[in-house]
Chain A
Amino acid sequence: DSGVTQTPKHLITATGQRVTLRCSPRSGDLSVYWYQQSLDQGLQFLIQYYNGEERAKGNILERFSAQQFPDLHSELNLSSLELGDSALYFCASSIQSGGTDTQYFGPGTRLTVL
């Protein structure tokens, strides 16, 4: 158990819909990272928040957005869903934001878009 929690574990929805994925980082961690894992793209970094502020952006679509709240939990919002958005979405957290910081991963949310 990494200490990072993600809800829900599974999500099934239809194309065009909007969903919210939630992540609670390990106690004391200030950084939260979101990743998408799919069979064709592998594990892709989406976005990072550090202490409530957006710190880095990766391959995140404009239909996707995220935020980190004052209690440091984070939400990833996916809208206008397409079949290709079906994937495993991971959240990770780390104490700070430096290259030496270990990222601890949550168990993931499996999103299925029908």
Chain B
Amino acid sequence: AQSVTQPDIHITVSEGASLELRCNYSYGATPYLFWYVQSPGQGLQLLLKYFSGDTLVQGIKGFEAEFKRSQSSFNLRKPSVHWSDAAEYFCAVGARSSASKIIFGSGTRLSIRP
């Protein structure tokens, strides 16, 4: 069965610092992987996704993620965070067969220190 682990519940970084949010998954085949962001009072917005090909994926808002099959990881990175990046971030793993078979991690809340 699919599963996703986001080991960090809450992370605080200084504005302008680099960011890495961890995500580990469990899936029997090559997974579809996603990162979503949820700002307070908002729905989830897709940051980026990985289906196949280049393992370094570029997303919106300056985010990128790297798929590492050997480590079953799909960590999200940003070289320099902005105060507006404060939000909840969700990693998700999906199945090729159906968009409904998507499992979300428990989320990492990102706070930005001025």
Contacts and interface: CB of A to CB of B under 8 A. Distances in A.
B102 A107 contact: no
A108 to B, nearest CB: 6
Given A55-B100, A58-B100, A99-B99, A107 B42 contact: yes
B101 A99 contact: yes
Q: Give the 8 A-B CB pairs with smallest separation, nearest first.
A: A105-B43, A56-B100, A48-B100, A99-B96, A43-B104, A105-B44, A101-B99, A107-B43
A42 B36 CA distance: 14
Interface residues of A, number: 27
Contacts of A96: 99
Nearest to A50: B100
Contacts of A48: 98-100
Residue from B43, B44, B96, B103 having most chain A Cβ neighbours under 10 A: B43
Interface string B72-99: 0000000000000000001000111111
Contacts of B36: 105
Interface string B38-49: 000111111001
Interface of B: 32, 36, 41-46, 49, 51, 90, 94-107
Given A33-B100, A43-B90, A45-B102, A90 B95 contact: no
Interface of A: 2, 4, 31, 33, 42-43, 45, 48, 55-56, 58, 90, 92, 94, 96-108
A45 B92 CA distance: 12
A99 B95 contact: yes
A33 B41 contact: no
Contacts of A56: 98, 100-101
B43 A90 contact: yes
Nearest to B99: A101
A63 B52 CA distance: 39
Contacts of A102: 46, 49
Contacts of A99: 32, 94-99, 101
Given A42-B104, A43-B90, A102-B49, A31 B99 contact: yes
